[in-house]
Amino acid sequence: MGVLDDKVAIVTGSARGIGRATAELLLEHGAKVVINDLDADLARAAADELGGETSVFHGDLTKEGVPDALVQHAIDSWGRLDIVVNNAGYTLDAPVHKMRDDWFQRMLDIHVVAPFRVVRAAAPHLREPAKKEREEGREVFRKIVNVSSMSGTMGNAGQANYAAGKAGVVGLTKTLAKEWGQFKVNVNAVAFGWIETRLTASKDEANVTEIDGQQVQLGIPDELRELAPMMVPIGRPGTPEEAAGGIFFLCSPWSNYVHGQTLHVTGGQFGGMTG
């Protein structure tokens, strides 16, 4: 038996990277998982490769109505919802004096507005069952994990837009924790440091993605990548699987009394658990 048997989870941006590693870990421990990505083919391929009980939903979560459709897809697939992991995101880097309005707004849309809309859509499926359970004298914990970043908690040059979005999701997390604790919905965030994904890979012509029909450059310059051993006390970037471990803990029964927190998963860079 797995610790998440019969639990239903949504993991946004779960066709690759940290999201995929998270989905794999949840599936391994018995959960049913909605695999979500902008790219339908990539999402289906990930679901096929991961195995387990999966369902696929593709769509741009920054578009009105899509977060609601995502949640409804989970309910239509399995009739319930227990875990929401707001992981989907990307970066558009520039210094403040060169930052375009649309670049700033895009980061707020994907990193704050989309998670807000997902959890708002999920509200009746997370809160209403708890009311009946409370009347019966039972505690059943459900989980929301929002993915933030050290950029959001510490700031980062060249990422004012991304940092603002990731700081915003921490504020959203703390507020939800105050509102939904009575319903035994644990709401926490994970702030990642240097994790080896497309966002921290080399910035080259091959490392691009398509957003709204436009090519978006991902990655960071190689000269910055070479600093990792000096910046991270453990001496290297983390893997997506190591990053997923932090999310899994906050989805598991072992986090039932962890609430309203931001867990830093950074290899020791700037410390650990913070309020």
Q: Which amino acid is at 248?
A: F
**Cα distance between residue 26 and residue 270, in whole Å:** 28
217: enclosing H helix or E strand: strand 214-217
**Cα distance between residue 58 and residue 148, in whole Å:** 22
Other C-beta atoms closer than 10 Å to the C-beta of 221 total: 10
The answer to whether the CB of 22 falls within 8 A of the CB of 242 is no
* Catalytic residue flag (residue 162): yes
Supply angle C-alpha 249, 72, 261, rounded to 5: 25
Place of tokens 């707001």: 86
Which member of 78, 162, 194, 248 is catalytic?
A: 162
**Cα distance between residue 149 and residue 246, in whole Å:** 13
**Cα distance between residue 265 and residue 23, in whole Å:** 18
Q: Which residues are part of the catalytic machinery?
A: 162
